Amino acid sequence: MTAALDVVEFLLTARVYEKHGDLDENDLPPAHRSALWADDGVPRPPKTTEDAVREGSGVDDPWDAVSGLMFTDRDTFAGNVSLVDDELAIDWFVERADADRVRENPVLAFVLDDEFDVDYEAAREANRPVQADPQYIDGLLGEYFDGDDEEMLDLVEVRSPAEIDVTLDDIVLTDEQEAEISKVAKAIEHRDYLATIGLSEIGKLLFVGPPGTGKTSTARGLAHQLDLPFVEVKLSMITSQYLGETAKNVEKVFEVAKRLSPCILFMDEFDFVATTRTGDEHNAIKRAVNTLLKSIDEVSLVNDDVLLIGATNHPDELDAAAWRRFDEILSFPRPDEGMRAEILEVVTRELDVEGFDPQELAAETDGLTGSDLRLVLREAVLDALVEDRTTLTQADLVDAVEDFEDRDHLRNLDTLEEAIDDPDAAAANGGQAHDHDHDHGEGDGHDHGEGDGHDHGRDRDAE
């Protein structure tokens, strides 16, 4: 019966959307909207092909689910599934659906608010907007970047909010960070007011901390929460083999962000600025860095609808010229013992672990980041699978921590040489390996940042 209810809901949604011109694409549930999307929007009438119904309802065989209902029909030639009696379909749906289902579908809330005591405006407000959908972003990219401009997209990676799998609910933030995120959200909401009073120097953040501590995840989670496209660029990747092109590439990156605005522009590896402003670097590279700093000065959340977030693993290498471009600095140091215990609880929440003691593990993982702890968990799971076990034990996790420590020590060449020349000395010095960065792909998963002071972030679903 659930499958039939899902299919009927999809068909009813399409029919109500067709009949009521006051409704727009922001009223359609995201899954329905994606399935009905054609070219540059959802047409009227929407095309309820079997493929569209399958995608939108999540039912593998939609016609099989509703073929026994007297108000449905299938056109085998056109491949469509449709309603032949709207009133019967509505009566059938009302008898079987509940308020929660209708509350998550603004189109149906629009016509069934009295039957289920739901508020249409609240349902629409809670619905993810069309601007967050991949197909909408793809449409913008095709519209704004055709012909010669298409090569500009090779410099960046663009994600729609719907494609971002980390949310701020996965991240534990300090009061300072929550306050800063709230300020950014309010600035975006009231940017017209800020423009009228001439307050435009806001919305440029710098995240600092070692790899794996949550910088990328926090930026992506913010894009997800604010329903903003996420434009990511690694500054080292825009350095052209034709040095004269590097400054132009910098300008193109900012042009991409402005065309896709409102959006978040995330600039990783910001220490690229530091390494090129000192020493005997090529003048073309220095010009590129100056272009970058000038571009940061000229972009504005208020005037351009671009929220700029820079990230660096080496804040000590940045000079004053780079620091003063940002109105807020957020630190992401390694998690302390208490936060490591919390991370372990989160990353194991989908697992069955006998005798699980996160505090014991946290005490043995000094210096590890959230991404390190997720790697530890991965190894424990794989080792258990080798023994055909899907239930872990505390001993599995302890062994995985020890194995990780052994491998991590070998990553340092000095430690490796000590192990060869003097195993006893290497063992005595083994605990110092955590002074080195654990870089296991920050940004590929859910990173962790935690602090014991000001402006620190803590990611609960760390990689």
Residue 376 makes CB contacts below 8 A (sequence gap 6+) with 365, 368, 397, 400, 401, 404
Nearest-Å Rg of the Cα atoms of the chain is 26
Least trusted range by pLDDT, from 341-350, 397-406, 410-419? 410-419
Position 240 scores a pLDDT of 62
- Going from the C-alpha of 146 to that of each of 138, 141, 265, the distances in angstroms are 12, 8, 21
Contact criterion met (CB below 8 Å) for 16 and 48: no
pLDDT category at 413 given cuts 50, 70, 90 is very low
Helix axes 246-259, 283-298, angle to 10 degrees: 20
Give the largest CA-CA distance in the chain. 84
What domains lie within the chain, and their CATH numbers? 2-127 (no CATH), 134-331 (3.40.50.300), 337-447 (1.10.8.60)
pLDDT, average across residues 21-33: 96
CA–CA separation, 365 and 397 (whole Å)? 11
Q: What is the spatial distance between Cα 237 and Cα 24, in angstroms, rounded to a whole number?
A: 40
* Predicted pLDDT of residue 463: 36
User: 411 falls in which pLDDT band (50, 70, 90)?
Assistant: low
Task: Read off the pLDDT band of 285 (50, 70, 90).
Answer: confident
pLDDT score recorded for residue 248: 87
Q: Which of 34-48, 230-244, 424-438, 444-458 has the highest mean pLDDT?
A: 34-48
| Polymer length in residues for the chain | 463
- Mean pLDDT for the chain? 84
Q: Which residue has the higher pLDDT, 354 or 322?
A: 354
Pairwise CA distance, residues 185 & 300, whole Å: 15
| Burial 393-404, CB ≥16 within 10 A → b, else e | bbebbbebbeeb
Report pLDDT for 409.
Answer: 61
Angle of helix 175-189 relative to helix 215-226, nearest 10 degrees?
Answer: 40
SS3 364: coil
Q: What are the pLDDT digits (tens) for 76-98?
A: 898 999 999 999 999 999 999 99
**144-193 per-position pLDDT tens digit:** 898 778 888 888 999 999 999 888 877 767 777 778 888 888 888 888 89
Looking at residue 10, its pLDDT comes to 98
Q: How far is CA 95 from the centre of its chain?
A: 38
SS (H, E, C) 21-40: CCCCHHHCCHHHHHHHCECC
Whole-Å CA distances, 309 to 87, 161, 297, 417: 52, 16, 13, 40
- Tell me the average pLDDT across 417-440: 44
pLDDT confidence of 113, banded at 50, 70, 90? very high
pLDDT higher than 60, residue 452: no
pTM of the predicted protein model? 0.77
Distance, in Å, from the CA atom of 17 to the CA atom of 43, rounded to the nearest integer, reads 10
pLDDT of residue 241: 55
| Phi, psi torsion values for 351, nearest 5 degrees | -115, 160
Token couple for 325: 């471009």
Q: Which residue has the higher pLDDT, 264 or 185?
A: 264
Q: CA–CA separation, 141 vs 147, rounded Å? A: 12
pLDDT of residue 98: 96
User: What is the predicted pLDDT for the residue at 394?
Assistant: 95
